[in-house]
Chains A and B, each alone.
Chain A
Amino acid sequence: MDVSIALILLQDGIVNGAIYALLGMALVLVFAVTRVIFIPQGEFVTFGALTLAMLVDGRVPGTVYLLPLLGLLVLLLELIKALRSGVWSSLPKVLASCVALPLLLLWATRAYAGPDTSLWVDMLLTLLLVAPMGPMVYRIVYTPLAEASVLVLLIVSVAVHFTLTGLGLIFFGAEGWRTPAFVSGQLELGFMSWSGQSLFVVGTCLVLIVALWLFFGKTLYGRALRATAVNRRGARLVGISTGMSGGLTFTLAAAIGAVSGMLIAPITTVYYDTGFLIGLKGFVGAIIGGLASYPVAAAGSLLVGVLESFSSFWASAYKEVIVFTLIIPVLVWRSFHHRHTDDEE
């Protein structure tokens, strides 16, 4: 291996690592706020990538039907709740966000989809179609289990992953998709030649990370989420609704998943079940950060990306083995630095 190959590998690693970093941070966020270990994060990556790919191809993506379906379920649950409690005041909002919005998007997408659409509009539409699924999944699956233990939530997450993967197969088909590069051209940066596409990915990730940092540091909602992460009961006592925090967190997680999916779509062929492994690699990064530290999670994800690209060169068959075994030394290291004495449950 000479220097130029190493540099190309490094570049590949950084590009993938940046995407894993986004996912890893979303996972840390979801875990901190809701205690959910969000295995289905990868499915939102898939949904984002496939929706964009189909829009670019001039087709109506399956997401437009999936969204009203989920919305309908939420409506049903809310109706049952309203019937039982006799409180109907929250229903207009539910109707707007879970019925009107999905139907509007369905109509708009069907009218819009066709050959030669603008890539940027496609991306925006993708984001609009995928992000609302986050809070819907939260409402349907996790709200009734708000008081369950982390382990129960984890098993439920795996079940959600199964369900969403199955839905992905139905709504997108078994075919693999890949989008053309968003940005063409090459750029010489010192001794390295970067493709415009790589720079775009890394740049977008950086912008998003800064945006998240601003959101959590400077805005009221961001601080509310942080408060919930630190102390759920305390946050509830000062008037931060756990349901609101959960919904907002899942919106962010789904949006980040969709963006990651769109970024990865030109790099690799995405199938209905590709997201799972991508999400898990973000996980490895997040675990390196102990599911608590955002910067370490981001750094860990970069490490995962670079390790993956180098191992795919040296021992491509063992690529996944190497990436997932990375978790073991990390856990060992953590186990020596962490002394857990508290019981579970």
Chain B
Amino acid sequence: MIAAKNRIALWVFVAVLAVLPLAGATPEFWITQLNYIGLAALAAMGLMLLTGVAGLTSFGQAAFVGLGAYTTAYLTTKYGASPWLALLVGLLLTGGVAWLVGLITLRLSGHYLPLGTIAWGLSLYYLFGNIEALGEHNGIAGIEPISFFGASLLEGRHIYFLIWVCVLLAAWASSNLLDSRPGRAIRALKSGANMAESMGVDTGKYKIVVFVWAALLASLSGWLYAHMQRTVSPSPFGLHYGIEYLFMVVVGGSGSVWGALLGAALILVIKDQLQNLLPALLHTDANFELIVFGVLMILMLQYASNGLWPLLAGWWSRIIGTAGSRRGLAAPAQAATLAQRARPQAGVPVLEVKDLRKQFGGLVAVNDISFSVRAGEIMGLIGPNGAGKSTTFNLVSGVTPATRGEVRFMGESISGLSARSIATRGVGRTFQHVQLLPTMTVLENVALGAHLRSQVGVFAGALHSDRAREAQLLHEAARQLRRVGLGDYLYEQAGNLALGQQRILEIARALACDPVLLLLDEPAAGLRYKEKQELAQVLEQLRDEGLSILLVEHDMDFVMRLTNHLVVMDFGTKLAEGLPAEIRENPVVLEAYLGGIDDDLPDDIRGAAAAGEGA
């Protein structure tokens, strides 16, 4: 219903776009303006994915537009090459350069990337302006218009169609991409990169993918620009235009390709209006639009940092009468099941930890710990605060490197492997501090966990040829969610769930990667009594299916009831190991938990201390 109304809105938009140049009454100026908006929207759309979605800020987008424009200008004027061939060469060249630049700058997180992009944006600009073959600062003139099956696209009204077909195709492919397996990985880059790595996502690769994608869209925009303008010079590819593209993204709003279109339209229209209006108003030729732009931008970021598209989308959904319409696809009722890993025989050691040690400077956080987890059993790792449980957990899951010692999984050493390689081998995990992507649906969050079980690539995702495999992933995600009792919340935003439900969601996500071993970091924290019981049931059921589980937990009742086997740690050292019943009686453990029992204390205080510890 919602989707249908949205689709109607889209078709109306496309129809208006298509009719505009056909109507003779449409002023030429509108067409020109729309052409420029289309070109800017292409570049901004790529930047939207890069900055708005993946959180990688680039000021250098204009330089990629320039690469596309100069390639076609050079090839068509010097060698008389076909513009279509030049487009291909331009895309290849830009892709190659972006891949190389990405390889270098994307390794750095945070603010280095934007600063790096400023630097190479400037460098490319000065290169364009100083290479003799590219006409130095005069640029290249006399570029032939594109011809399409014999029809010359010389006029604004004609190239208009090509531009807007490109824009709509780019929007279609980009939003497809976001709704696919690689897209989920890209959407995790901004705020969940560590988590994604633990789900087996190669975040480094996806950073480069989205960077190259953005550069290719920019290059396409440059190619169209060169043939529309029929001349290129360095100035439109300078840093200021790179900044303008970024402004379009900020104004339009992060996360949606339509935001980029809105941003491009708004910025260009405002810019044009300012250029007409201000000199008349202020009787000067001074460059006032720069100031107005700057001020608008500052106000925008201070008061509406999410941009205008989310506001518009909110109004729209209120108009069509559905609050909180959401993106994302429904899970199919039926789909071919994904291949499953072979489970080891019950009783076979799955995880063996030998003399594991971690030192932070002089502090020994984990002191030569050894234990093993067997197939089909739940092992608990307990201990008072500061005992080194979480550190041990991080050593096993590959988040922190161990100082010494060995971790073997299914007989193979996994010491020193990255979190991603460990995940690839069949280890699923949850986090002590819940790490979800709050704006994605519950279903999509879990589908991210199944990342490794499908091989859908970027192009398959963008062209929607992945639908059958996507359905499998979503079906599997839904199945895991129902299994843990979250079946009613599939399409809720993950950030809206209660903390306890978010923890369960993390378990479903870990299950979605079909693990042999499940590492759970305090899964019961923040859960109510009933929820804990339900969680315990789920874990017992998983054990019966042959899954092995390592559990770090504070809640004694929960641990005692559930585990087959317990290791107690204190001050980094293994204090005791055994069956839950044995541990309960172990005097050393009791002392570690309750403190040395002071004989002078009256009994009721001792009792209170014990009760406090158990909470």
Contacts and interface: CB of A to CB of B under 8 A. Distances in A.
A327 B122 CA distance: 11
Interface residues of A, number: 48
A161 B294 contact: yes
A22 to B, nearest CB: 19
Contacts of A158: 59, 243, 246, 297
B111 A328 contact: no
Contact of A341 (B107, B108, B122, B194): B194
Given A148-B305, A154-B114, A328 B290 contact: no
B598 to A, nearest CB: 35
B104 interface: yes
A268 to B, nearest CB: 18
Nearest to B55: A344
Contacts of B294: 159-164, 166
Interface in B182-226: 190-194
Given A162-B290, A321-B127, A342-B109, A145 B115 contact: no
Contacts of B194: 341-343
A334 interface: yes
Contact of B104 (A155, A331, A342): A331
Interface in A185-242: none
A163 B297 CA distance: 10
Nearest to A331: B116
Given A155-B297, A156-B297, A335-B108, A162 B114 contact: no
B126 A318 contact: yes
Interface in A274-298: 280, 283-284, 287, 291
B108 A340 contact: yes
A155 B291 contact: no
A325 B301 CA distance: 31
A311 to B, nearest CB: 12
Contact of A332 (B104, B115, B243): B104
B111 A343 contact: no
Interface string A313-338: 00001101100110110011011101
A150 interface: yes
B301 A150 contact: no
Nearest to B284: A170
Nearest to A341: B194
A10 interface: no
A37 B111 contact: yes
Contacts, number: 140
Interface residues of B, number: 46
Contacts of B258: none
A165 B55 contact: no
Contact of A327 (B119, B191, B289): B119
Nearest to B118: A280
A57 B112 CA distance: 41
Interface in B115-137: 115-116, 118-120, 122-123, 126-127, 130
Contacts of A335: 104-105, 107-108
A338 B108 contact: yes
Contact of B115 (A141, A287, A343): A287
A144 interface: yes
A317 to B, nearest CB: 4
A163 B295 contact: yes
Interface string B257-281: 0000000000000000000000000
B301 A155 contact: yes
Nearest to B299: A159
A151 interface: yes
Contacts of A291: 111
A328 B57 contact: no
A150 B56 CA distance: 12
B238 to A, nearest CB: 11
Nearest to B250: A155
Contacts of B122: 280, 320, 324
A340 B108 CA distance: 7
B287 interface: yes
A324 B121 CA distance: 9
B115 A324 contact: no
B311 interface: no
Interface string B285-315: 0111111011101100110010000000000
B110 interface: yes
A148 B111 CA distance: 13
A291 B246 CA distance: 23
Interface string A137-152: 0000100110010111
B302 A144 contact: yes
User: Which 8 pairs between the two chains have the least Cβ-Cβ distance?
Assistant: A163-B294, A166-B290, A166-B291, A162-B294, A159-B297, A335-B107, A340-B109, A327-B119
23 contacts: A37-B114, A141-B298, A148-B301, A151-B55, A155-B250, A158-B243, A159-B295, A162-B293, A162-B297, A163-B290, A163-B294, A166-B286, A169-B287, A280-B118, A284-B119, A318-B130, A321-B126, A325-B120, A328-B120, A331-B105, A332-B104, A335-B108, A343-B193
